[in-house]
Amino acid sequence: MSWQLAALIMLGGSTALLFLGLPVAFSFVAINIVGAWAFLGGEPGLAQAVRNSVVSVMNFSLTPIPLFILMGEILFHTGIALKVIDGVERLIRRVPGRLAVVAVVAGTVFSAISGSTIATTAMLGSLMLPVMLTRGYHPTMAAGPIMAIGAVDMLIPPSALTVLLGSLSGISISKLLIGGIVPGLMLSLAFVAYIIVSVKLDPALAPKGDEDRTSKSDGLKLLIVYVVPLVGIFAVVVGAMSAGIATPTESAALGAFATLLMAVLYRALTLDALWKSLKGTTAISGMILFIILGATTFSQILSFSGATEGMVGAILGQGLSPLALVALMMAMLIFLGIFVDQVSMMLITLPVFMPIVQRLGVDPVWFGVLFLICMQLGLLLPPHGLLLMTMRGVAPPQVTMAHIFRAVVPYVAMSVLLLVLILFVPAIATWLPARIG
């Protein structure tokens, strides 16, 4: 069988199943069964595929995923997240579009301890969006920052999707986690600057004189009591990895323990909150591990069939420069982001992209950060961006899909500009991992 036909069966078949609405994990398991039978030798091939699947989820490097998710689940279910929003809101007092800026700053703080982009967007959307609309914010100014900063959650560690990308691609997980910090903070600062400038140019976007009337000392107290400890947990997780004191798994365990301890000290950890946190962690982690089970076997069958080698050879044979090839891969990811979710993007492209990256001698951390930004863009791209759907689910009726689509446009543009900047200045992504690695 030719590699073209093998690629059509494996890649075309999995993509078709995804577009038909079959869940990601089931799509790849189904196509793996077909591929194992066709390319690994019938029944013995199926047995080998099962063994490979079991081995794939026994990888110790995947352990940080449930621990990172647990950190965010505890934060949300114990109500500590509400105190963080309160502290940030009372500290930021006299800037144009104050509540929109608060949403970005609070979302950045949550990104430093939560591994779930959807949870961040849903929480900020349900808590802050109604308040902003009541105070007279335009729907686009109210919804845009919340969705945008939810997507940045993917870049700032801890991030379950970053761990998943590192595991599936073979890129150092600790370096990839650290590599997303600078781009993530750059986007947060760009969002704040955009909000302030936009409101100054068009005061109708936000109410005039939207200052906090409470005591500044109360805000400082909340900041010290709630925000500083969360930033401290982030410093422990990242610092332990960067200093070589702990592996990503050990750092994640430290972070989960510190988050649990903080909830106990604040007397916020009830049995009900703990049960909800553990149940949410189990559900999300199980889904991710089931996806990994299908993805790893998919890559192995694709390689064994000769499709990977054939596609890599055909692409490299075009004579394009490494930078042009990487740019082309990023364009393909952005296009895919319009139609499929982030995990599907990884599963479809990594088996082909990573051999090309390795042959070109491209810095894998740089490529991984670019990949993360493209996935972050996919969360915001109409019409099927996951955070757009999340916002629609929590937004009041007066916020229409047209408002949501318009709201994300400037933030998508800023993310694309950052992607181009890192494409030409790789040090933005690689300097920090190299400096502290």
Residue 24 placed within a domain: no
- Give residue 105's pLDDT: 87
Q: Look-up: residue for tokens 């990104």? A: 111
- Give residue 425's pLDDT: 94
The DSSP call for residue 416 is H
| Cβ(39)–Cβ(300) below 8 Å | no
Residue 201 placed within a domain: yes
User: What are φ and ψ of residue 102, in 5° steps?
Assistant: -60, -40
The DSSP call for residue 340 is S
Residue 354 placed within a domain: yes
Residue 18 placed within a domain: no
| Cβ(350)–Cβ(368) below 8 Å | no
Q: Buried b / exposed e across 112-121, counting CB within 10 Å, b at 16+?
A: bbbbbbbbbb
Helices (H) and strands (E) in the chain, counts: 23, 0
Q: Please give the Cα distance from 9 to 316 (Å, whole number).
A: 22
| Number of domains forming the structure of the chain | 1
Q: Please give the Cα distance from 207 to 342 (Å, whole number).
A: 36
Ramachandran region, residue 208 (left: φ > 0; alpha: ψ -120 to 50; beta: rest)? beta
> Residue 202: in which H helix or E strand, if any?
none
What is the end-to-end Cα distance of the chain in Å, rounded?
45
Strands (E), 206-337: none
Residue 268 placed within a domain: yes
- pLDDT tens digits for the chain (437 residues)? 677 788 788 878 877 877 777 776 777 788 888 888 888 777 777 787 777 777 766 666 677 878 878 887 887 788 777 777 777 777 777 788 888 898 898 888 877 666 567 777 877 888 788 888 888 899 999 999 999 988 888 888 877 788 888 888 888 888 898 899 999 999 999 999 999 999 999 988 888 765 555 555 565 666 677 677 777 777 778 778 777 778 888 888 888 888 888 888 888 888 998 998 888 888 877 777 777 777 677 777 777 777 777 877 777 777 788 899 999 999 988 887 777 777 778 877 888 899 889 988 899 999 999 999 998 888 888 776 778 877 887 788 888 888 889 999 999 999 999 999 999 999 999 998 888 75
Measured CA distances, 358 to 168, 330, 361 (Å): 14, 16, 5
Q: Please give the Cα distance from 405 to 393 (Å, whole number).
A: 14
SS3 content of the chain, % helix, strand, coil (to 5): 80, 0, 20
Nearest to 128, CA basis, from 110, 154, 153: 110
pTM of the model: 0.79
| Cβ(229)–Cβ(262) below 8 Å | yes
SS3 of residue 230 by DSSP: helix
- Give residue 244's pLDDT: 73
Residue 101 placed within a domain: yes
| Cβ(77)–Cβ(280) below 8 Å | yes
- Give residue 222's pLDDT: 64
Residues of the domain holding 318: 60-436
- Give residue 232's pLDDT: 79
Nearest to 175, CA basis, from 185, 162, 161, 164: 162
Residue 17 placed within a domain: no
Residue 30 placed within a domain: no
